[in-house]
């Protein structure tokens, strides 16, 4: 069986503090806000973020305290990590450290090097 033709266009993550998450992804990772909206049915708010010259979207989803979707937060809920290619890994890690985001793990293999930091909700962010 062949599935329907599709194009993976965005990933949505639930966040507990919308402004802290916006600051992290825009100030630390250089993403830009591509759109923002409220969803009355879910008592939620979404913010679409994009990297420079990229059509792929990272959607931040925030739910008010009285929303049925504001459930106990489990880091990642099955999401392993999000990966970002950076121009200068050392500079990116230093900027993250300066903003209070510690390096969790640094790895080297087959001539490559990458590291992980956390977003404000504890989701691991791979920088390579």
Active-site residues, by number, are: 126
Query: Can you give 100-112 as a three-state secondary structure string?
Result: CCCCCEEEEECCE
Residue in the block written with tokens 């450290």: 97
Please, which residues have CB within 8 angstroms of residue 113's CB and are 6 or more apart in sequence? 89, 106, 107, 128
């Amino acid at each position: 069986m062949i599935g329907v033709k599709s194009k993976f266009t965005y990933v949505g993550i639930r966040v507990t503090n919308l402004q802290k998450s916006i600051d992290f992804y825009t100030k630390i990772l250089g993403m830009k806000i591509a759109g923002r909206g409220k969803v009355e049915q879910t008592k939620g708010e979404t913010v679409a973020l994009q990297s420079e010259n990229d059509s792929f979207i990272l959607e931040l989803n925030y739910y008010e305290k009285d929303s049925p979707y504001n459930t106990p937060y489990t880091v990642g809920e099955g999401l392993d990590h999000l990966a970002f290619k950076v121009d200068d890994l050392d500079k990116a890690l230093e900027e993250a450290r300066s903003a209070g985001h510690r390096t969790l793990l640094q790895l080297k293999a087959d001539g490559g090097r990458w590291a992980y930091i956390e977003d404000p909700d504890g989701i691991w962010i791979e920088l390579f």
